[in-house]
Amino acid sequence: MSSGRSRKRGGEPIAIAGISGNLGRLLTRTLHGEHPIIGIDQRPFEEKPKDVTHYQVDARRSRAEDIFRRRDIRALVHLGLVHHPTPGRPNNREWNVLGAVKLLEYCQRYSVPKVVLLSTAYMYGPGPTNSNFLSEDTPLLGAKDYPEMRALIEWDMFAQSFFWKYPAVETVILRPVHVVGPNVRNAPCNYLRMRKPPMLLGFDPMLQLVHENDLIQAILLSLEPGMRGVFNIVGPGEVPLSILLKELGKTPVPIPHPLAKPLATRLWRWGLSKFPPGELPHLRFQCMVDGTRAKEVLGYRPRYNLKRTIHSVLG
């Protein structure tokens, strides 16, 4: 009986919101063939595999609700929120969050049994009073020096209250550390790909990185029936920023920290730098997390070692 049920489940599609992003395409490559995939994204999906149905819709419109009304969706994976600000482009996170909230509403209304949401360990925020390894219960104070983070934190909090309000939906919230890899174009990767990345004079925080494929593995594990909760996703280890840059063959430019913020803010505003000023505290203080819960509950183990993870930044 159980096998019959699982076959039926295998026939129901997995919806991926934010499928057109780099991580979305990577997840699609991993999943399609084994599972039917539905894509939900306002952006077009270039080089889409044939067996993927892509809906280029705004999640807030009723057309998006129709997807959930008409199809028996097995799980929603939401990747569409965590991307980093780009210079010269308005911050559209607020309405991104509104769309994401709508999608959760559809999941509840049309009894989608599983929701996997990608958040980030940025939520905790770097700071001098941080313990070295923050647990999932740490308050989310990441917007203190990074106002653009506020919408995301509200989204994470909303997802948490959704988790408690609707126990019939298995909700998983993943908070990975800095995601790196050849396909990723986020702030940490942009930083590590700079020819002369800035460092703050006299500061050398410890960092955690996770390989994009390890994050995909964590998402797959979260899709397993029975998994629910908030999980920090860590990589293979911790390393000081200076060693990380040395390993990548970079020559950092030390900047005294009182000058760094005005400098970074101006360069960002003029579109001359790809480094969001809100990221500066990450170069000064640590924001490392404890990945024990994902290890024990999800059975997640990073497969890429520290060296490979670091070098994957350069592809």
Partner 1 sequence: MLGKVKDRLLGAIESMTDEEVSEKIRRLDPRLNEFGVDPFGFDPKFVKYGIPFALFLYRKYFRVESVGLSNVPAGRVLLIANHSGQIPLDGAMICVAMIVDAEPPRMVRSMVETWVPTLPVLSWFFPRVGQIVGTRENCQRLLERDAAILAFPEGVRGVSKNFAKRYQLEEFGLGFMRLALRTGAPVVPVAVVGAEEQVPSFYSFKPLAKALGIPAFPITPTFPWLGPLGLLPLPVKYRLHFGKPLHFLGDPDDEDSVVAEKVKQVRRTLQRMIRDGLEARKHVFW
CA distance 31 to 306: 26
Q: Residue 92 or residue 132: which is nearer to partner 1 going by CB?
A: 132
Could you tell me which stretch among 96-104, 212-220, 262-270, 278-286 binds partner 1 (CB under 8 A)?
Answer: 278-286
The answer to the question of residue 91 lying near partner 1 (CB under 8 A) is: no
Q: Residue 135 or residue 183: which is nearer to partner 1 going by CB?
A: 135
Contacts of 72 (CB under 8 A, 6+ apart): 12, 13
Touching partner 1, residues 190-219 (CB under 8 A): 200-206
Q: Mask 237-276, x = binds partner 1 (CB under 8 A)? A: xxxx--x---x--------xx-------------------
Could you tell me which stretch among 60-68, 170-178, 279-287, 295-303 binds partner 1 (CB under 8 A)?
Answer: 279-287
Q: Which two tokens stand for residue 32?
A: 């399609």
Look at the block and give the residue holding tokens 């020096």: 145
Q: Which two tokens stand for residue 193?
A: 């790909």
Among 88, 90, 128, 226, binds partner 1 (CB under 8 A): 128
Q: Residue 86 or residue 135: which is nearer to partner 1 going by CB?
A: 135
Cβ contact 28:88 at 8 Å:
no
Q: Which two tokens stand for residue 255?
A: 């900047």
Question: 226: exposed, middle or buried (C-beta count within 10 Å: 0-12, 13-18, 19+)?
Answer: exposed
Q: Smallest gap, in angstroms, from Cβ of residue 278 to partner 1?
A: 18
Could you tell me which stretch among 68-76, 112-120, 129-137, 271-279 binds partner 1 (CB under 8 A)?
Answer: 129-137
Alpha-carbon distances of 187 from 87, 91, 179, 199, rounded to whole Å? 11, 15, 9, 15
Q: Smallest gap, in angstroms, from Cβ of residue 307 to partner 1?
A: 6
Cβ contact 103:76 at 8 Å:
yes
Look at the block and give the residue holding tokens 């809100």: 278
Cβ contact 25:19 at 8 Å:
yes
Q: Smallest gap, in angstroms, from Cβ of residue 38 to partner 1?
A: 40
Among 93, 211, 284, 293, binds partner 1 (CB under 8 A): 284
Q: Residue 125 or residue 205: which is nearer to partner 1 going by CB?
A: 205
The answer to the question of residue 307 lying near partner 1 (CB under 8 A) is: yes
CA distance 57 to 175: 26
Question: What sign does the dihedral 271-273-279-280 (CA atoms) show?
Answer: negative
Q: Comparing C-alpha atoms, which of 19, 278, 287 is closest to residue 150?
A: 278
Q: Which two tokens stand for residue 133?
A: 């390894």
Q: Residue 272 or residue 314: which is nearer to partner 1 going by CB?
A: 314
Q: Smallest gap, in angstroms, from Cβ of residue 230 to partner 1?
A: 17
Q: Smallest gap, in angstroms, from Cβ of residue 145 to partner 1?
A: 13
Q: What are the residues binding partner 1 (CB under 8 A)?
A: 128-133, 135, 200-206, 237-240, 243, 247, 256-257, 284-286, 305-307
